[in-house]
Amino acid sequence: MTWLETLRTGWDAVRSHRLRSGLTMLGILIGIAAVMLTVGLGLGAQATIGARIDALGSNLLIVTPGSATSNGVRGGQGSAATLTVADATALASRDVAPDVVAVAPTVQRSEALTAGSANWTTTVVGTVPDWAGVRARTVAAGRFLTAADVTDHGAVVVLGPTTAQQLFGARQPVGRTVTVAGVPMTVIGVLAPAGSSAAADQDDQALVPITTASARILGGANRDSVQTIYLQAASTDALSAAYQEADTELRALHHTLTSDTADFTITSQQSILDTANAITGALTAVLGGIAAISLLVGGIGVMNIMLVSVTERVREIGLRKALGATPRVIRRQFLVEAGVLGLAGGLAGALLGIVGSLLLSRLVGQPIVVSPTATAGAIAVAVGIGLVFGVYPASRAARLAPIDALRSE
């Protein structure tokens, strides 16, 4: 018997018992679809997290201060006031850090803003003109902060789109006056929307010159301290070099020799992304493993149906052997039938997974990424499951003695 005849015979055997074959494929179908949707959700989550982290800025390094100790109680990272404007100025020098192309120190605090009868509490960020480039933000209306605004302690503010909408509604904010912590300021620009991140709504903030924030809004004894310094590396390849340059300069300025005694922390954009991907990857693997259990159930269903098929077709097997069919041919025939069941279940499961991903992504508002490689792999796994769980029934059919098979009732 040729391979073509074997395939035709196997397909006829599956087609002649449509209901039974359909129920057998159902287990594989559900398993493949569940695995595809689970993996797709994980890939979609990674893509979303990656996009939101990229929205924070390109080739970004984030410098934060160390922890403070008060009355014997140690605060968390960032609670100390160990970073200063002088640190940011030193890092901006191309002689000190040639791979750092932009530096943006920031101070921030939640403050109430009022515009006429409207009021809104948001995060007021004091920063410099390079902040827009470092954080990959653009202005939708008006202009951004300038060096003159910083030098002159300008009473000007750039609003995020959410903040502007809350204060002015449909009115044009640029040119109007907003009171920030009791200080009247002129709105000079509105940022383009950037969406939300895991940390905060990037569209709900108000940006003022860092000198204005330190002197007129935040106040305090140490007006030269900053809470965060954002660094932009020249390129992705230069990110590691920029990290080393910033770390070396800050250790020298802060008189610390090792990372254990350093009163600052430098976090790279890639490390944040790697951590987020590791978490989502682990969750995807766990959920995918749970979904894959249904594939095992589907494989057991294939084995069960094939054993029933062997029992029902004992006389057919005996007749084939009596006419010269070898055990190898009989084994191949039943393996082909099992493979056909697996292939049909895999194709149907892949189709269900693709359709389900389109519907589910709209329902949950989360993108589901269907990978062509994963789809092809799922179909291959389905065929493999059919073949693996069809080995025992095929071997059992091949071992039947012709005389015993022919005289069976």
d(CA 151, CA 51): 35
> What type of residue is 295?
L
**Selection from 39-43, 252-256, 401-405 with the highest mean pLDDT:** 252-256
Per residue in 217-266, pLDDT tens?
A: 887 556 788 999 999 988 878 888 998 999 999 988 988 877 667 788 88
- End-to-end distance of the chain based on CA atoms, in angstroms? 26
Taking Cα atoms as reference points, which of 147, 105, 106, 154 lies closest to residue 129? 147
d(CA 144, CA 207): 9
Between strands 205-209 and 118-127, the pairing is: parallel
Residue 252 · residue 153 · CB < 8 Å? no
Rg (CA), the chain: 33
**How big is the CA angle at 110 (ends 265 and 77), to the nearest 5 degrees?**
20
Q: Is 88 exposed, middle or buried (0-12, 13-18, 19+ CB in 10 A)?
A: buried
Average pLDDT over every residue of 346-365: 85
pLDDT at residue 367 is higher than 50: yes
- Give the domain ranges of the chain: 3-52+275-406, 81-262
Taking Cα atoms as reference points, which of 258, 339, 355, 347 lies closest to residue 306? 339
Phi-psi region of 195 (alpha: psi -120 to 50; beta: other; left: phi over 0): left
Q: Which residue has the higher pLDDT, 96 or 78?
A: 96
Q: How many C-beta atoms surround the C-beta of residue 401 within 10 A? A: 10
Residue that is written with structure tokens 């390094």 in the block? 61
User: pTM of the entire structure?
Assistant: 0.60
